[in-house]
Amino acid sequence: MKAAAPGGFLVLPWRSGGGGGGSSDLGAEEEGQGGLLLKCGAVLGVTLICVAVLRKWIAGGVCRCAVRLDGKTVLITGANTGIGKETSRDLARRGARVVMACRDLARAEQAAEEIRRSTGNGNVVIRHLDLASIYSVKQFAKEFLDSEDRLDILINNAGVMMCPKWLTEDGFETQLGVNHLGHFMLTNLLLPKLKSSAPSRVINVSSMVHRGGRIDFDDLFFSKRPYSPLESYRQSKLANILFSRELARRLRGSGVSSFSLHPGVIRTELSRHVEGWFPLLGVLLRLPSLLLMKTPTQGCQTTLYCALMPGLERLSGRYFSDCAEQDPAPEGQDNVAAGKLWEESARLVGLKDTC
């Protein structure tokens, strides 16, 4: 019998679980939702673990060398951004005098000031250097030799990637001109200081993209063949490896070691021309790049390894990746091509006295 509640409301008895189907349906629904949440949580957990493992693998090797550089001088080209900036920061933290050689002095000073503050090392200076100008390279080298007491580590880090067909003021195709010829000239001009500071090192930042590249001695600047940004970049990165190899051969016994390296695929401003050629590709890759590319700090680890690791002198001329020696492509092991490139590079930049 239904009981009447005050105010005219009808009070129904509570239905127990055994009699009707409503509560069991509700329980089954809640159980189903709980199972779904559990499955989603498991999938999310596995996904996060996989992403963490992937990121660790992509990060690659880490330079764990604890060497200090107090009293040492380091010169880094293209040091105001990307891996050049992070390399500068790490070496400044180790007590080195860091000379940041950059084309844009305003941006360079901002980067240098940030590094001074974050490391507590006030001995971080900037110098103007435009690797697309042989005149600028000569001026920079003269001022450096006149003003600096020593040079312990030269890191040829600056570069351009897959830019349009531009020419430097000396008439060189830009990628070969900046990535190789400018650094070739700079290194040769600074050799007296490197030799007097021995043991010293020269590090050339190359790329795994050298694989499949070739040095076209009959048409280095794409004057006869159609210009390809990728082929030009490959040629310049292969030139870095051959230059480092030949430099090591010529400097054997001098106390100056030479190394080349692949830093990894890194999220830096270097890819801006790639996005210019393929805007949609740039948009599509921007989010995945957060997962699939190294950060600048991760990308500078092999540079640091080559600059700092004790005992590496015996491997002068070799190629490194992820803080370990690797074999370059067969094209990067061609000693005849390395010697020929040296002679042609010296002719192009007007350098008569080389090591």
Active site residues: 233
Partners of 204 in the β-ladder: 156, 260
CB 81, CB 111: distance < 8 Å: yes
Count Cβ atoms within 10 A of the Cβ of residue 59 and give its class: 0-12 exposed, 13-18 middle, 19 or more buried: middle
Partners of 131 in the β-ladder: none
CA 297 to chain centre: 8
Q: Please give the structure tokens belonging to residue 48.
A: 């996060």
Count Cβ atoms within 10 A of the Cβ of residue 273 and give its class: 0-12 exposed, 13-18 middle, 19 or more buried: middle
Separation of alpha carbons 7 and 292, rounded Å = 69
CB 269, CB 82: distance < 8 Å: yes
With tokens 């110098």, the residue in question is 127
Q: Please give the structure tokens belonging to residue 315.
A: 């491997």
Separation of alpha carbons 270 and 156, rounded Å = 15
Q: Please give the structure tokens belonging to residue 139.
A: 């001026």
CB 140, CB 128: distance < 8 Å: yes
Torsions phi, psi of 5, nearest 5? -95, 155
